[in-house]
Chains A and B, each alone.
Chain A
Amino acid sequence: MKILTTIKKVVDVELTINVEAGAIVEDGLQYVMNAWDENAVEATVQLKENNNAETTMVSIGGGEDNTKIIRRGFAMGIDNGIQIDDPTLTEADSSVFARVLQKVYEKEGYDLIITGKQAQDTDNGQTGIMLAEYLAIPCVSNVIAIEVLDDQHISVSRLGDNGTEIVALELPAVVTVTDSINEPRLPGMRGLMMAKKKKIDVMDLSALGTSFEEVGGTALKSEIVEFMKSETREAGQKFEGDAADITAKVVDLLVNEAKVL
C-alpha cells in the first residue's frame, strides 16, 4: 500500500499572537508541524509498521521551518518527503492547496491519503475533503481509527453528530484524522540524526507539471482582507480562602450579579 500524508507548517499556537495594521506580526513567531498532521504521520507510520506500506509525506511551503517539519516526519518514520516550494503559493486558499495536492497525487498514484482534520493556523478543515472531491475518490473526515481490510479496502471509525460511524472505504481514498486517533511518537535522537541525511524532493509548480493559474491561484475564491485581534476575556473575580465562604459568595454573585443561576 502506498500512503501519501500531508503535513503543514503552522505558527505555534501556544505563543502570543500580535496583530498590527491588519496583519499578524511575524517577529518572534515560531513554527511547528500542525498538531493534527502529527496524528496523521503517526497513523501512517503505524499502518507502515503493521501493513508494510510505502510512506510519502508532502508539505507545501518553503524555508527552513518547512524543512524542519519534513525532517520531523522522517524522524517519526516516514520514508519519502516531497516539498512543494513555490513563492506564488503564499496567499493561496484551501481550494488551491487541494489542487496542488491533486497534482502531487496524480504524479505518483497512491492508495491512501491521510491528512490532519484541520490546520491549527486557519482552522479551516477543508483541504483534504476538497482534494478527495477533485480526485473523485471517497473521503471520510474526523477519523479516530483506521483498519486495513484488504488491498482495496479499509474500515474507519468517524466521530459524527450522532455517535461513532463505522465506514468501509474503497481505496484509493482520503482520510482526515482527529487527535483522538493516537498519541504521536516523539522522535528519538537517532531518528533525528538519520532524518538530517534524508533527501527531500523539492519541486516548484512547474516541476510538478502545473502552473499557478491551473491550480486556481489567479482566481482565488476568497481572500483575507485583514486580521484583527480577538476580543480577549478579562480575568474576573478570583476567590481564595474558606471553601464554604467563597462558594456561598460566588453562588450569590452568579444569582444576583451575573443573573445566570
Chain B
Amino acid sequence: MAKVLVIADIKQGALKGSTAELLSKAKAIGAEAAVVAIGSNLEALIPELANAGSDTQYIADDPGLELFSAGPYASCVVDAANQFGADLIWFSFSESGKAASPRVAAQLGAACATEITDVILNGDQVEIIRPAIANKVKQRVKINAERLVAVVRAGAFEATEGISGTENVVRLATPAADVKAVIKELISDATGEIDLADADIVISVGRGAKDQTGVDLIRALADDLGAGFGSSRAMVDGGFMAHNKQVGQTGKIVAPTLYMAMGISGAIQHLAGMNGSKVILAVNKDPEAPIFNVADYGIVGDLFEVVPLLREEIKKIRS
C-alpha cells in the first residue's frame, strides 16, 4: 500500500480546504494517508486535521515555527516522511510548498514535481500529469526515484464528501533555526478580505479599470458577491493592487466556480493563472481582446458602464 504524506496548508492559523482535497486524493488512489502540520499553536487544529482525512498527524508545534522559514519547515517534512515511510509527499499549491519541496526532494533523494494535476499509480510505477509552457501543454512524467515530492496545482483534486480520519498524533522534534537565513520581519498582507484560494467567485481587475476609481468600483461588486478580489499584473505594477492579489503564472493560480475578468486583456501569463476556472466572464472594451477566447460569457463594453449595471442586476436576482 502506498503511503502519502500531505503537508497541512495552514494560513493565519486556519486549515485550508486544499488539505482535505489532497488527503481525499490519497485515499482515492488507495493509499494510507498521514498529514504533517508545521507552525505554532496547532493544538486546536488536530481534530480538524484528522477529519480532513488523515489517520496519522505529525505535529511540529513550536513558537519558533510561527514564521515560515524554508529550512526548518523542510526539516519537519523530511522527519515526518521518514517516520511515516512516505512514498509520496504532497504539498498544496502555496509559496511555502514551492520553497520547501525542492529542499525535501534533495534531502530525500526523491523526484520533485511542481504543479501536478494528477497522479497515476500502476503497481509500483508512479506517473504524474502536469502542465508546462504557461499551460499550453501537459507532460506525462514517469517517476524513477523511490519517492516523489510534489506540489499539487490549485483545484486539481476534489475533497470527498464525508471524508474522515482517525486521531493518532505523533509529535515532531523542533528543528534548529536557520541561522544563515534569519527572518527579521513579516509584513502581513492579511486584509480581512477573503483569500483568493478559498473564494467561489474571483473578480479580477485589469488595466481597463485605469485608476483607483475603477478599482474601487469593481471592489464594490466583489463585496456584493463575497468574492475574492484579484488583479492582473498591470494593476499591481501600477501600485493599485497588492502583490498578493496578482493572478497569473507568477502569482496566484485560482480555479473558482466563477471568474470575472474586468478590463483584463488576457496575456498568456494571466490566462495560465485562471484558465482552470469553471466559468469565465470577461468584460472588455476591445472586442478583439484575447480574454474573449477563453471566456464563456463576454460583454464588450466599458466596465465603468457595465459594472454598475452588473451590481444592479445581481441585486435584483438576490432580492
Contact = CB atoms under 8 A, between A and B. Distances in A.
A221 B145 contact: yes
Interface stretch (A45-53, A63-71, A242-250): A242-250
Nearest to A245: B309
The DSSP consensus for interface residues of chain B is mixed
A178 B300 contact: no
B183 A166 contact: yes
Interface in A239-261: 239-240, 243-244, 246-248, 250-251, 253-255, 258, 260-261
Interface stretch (B29-37, B174-182, B210-218): B174-182
Contacts, number: 268
A226 B140 CA distance: 5
B297 A236 contact: yes
A206 interface: no
A168 interface: yes
The DSSP consensus for interface residues of chain A is mixed
Contacts of B287: 238, 240
B282 to A, nearest CB: 8
A261 B314 contact: yes
Sorted nearest first, the 6 A-B pairs with minimum C-beta distance are A238-B298, A236-B296, A221-B111, A133-B106, A129-B102, A138-B181
Interface of B: 11-12, 67-68, 70-71, 94-96, 98-99, 101-103, 105-107, 109-115, 127, 131-145, 148, 178-190, 201, 225, 233, 236-237, 243-244, 246, 249-250, 257-258, 268, 275, 278-281, 287, 292-302, 305-306, 309-310, 313-314, 317
Interface of A: 11, 13-14, 17, 19, 24, 36, 93-95, 98, 117-118, 120-127, 129-130, 133-134, 137-142, 144, 155, 159-170, 173, 178-180, 219-230, 233, 235-240, 243-244, 246-248, 250-251, 253-255, 258, 260-261
11 contacts: A129-B103, A161-B96, A164-B187, A168-B184, A180-B237, A222-B141, A227-B138, A229-B137, A229-B138, A235-B292, A243-B305
Given A13-B133, A222-B148, 5 more contacts: A133-B106, A139-B181, A163-B189, A178-B250, A243-B301
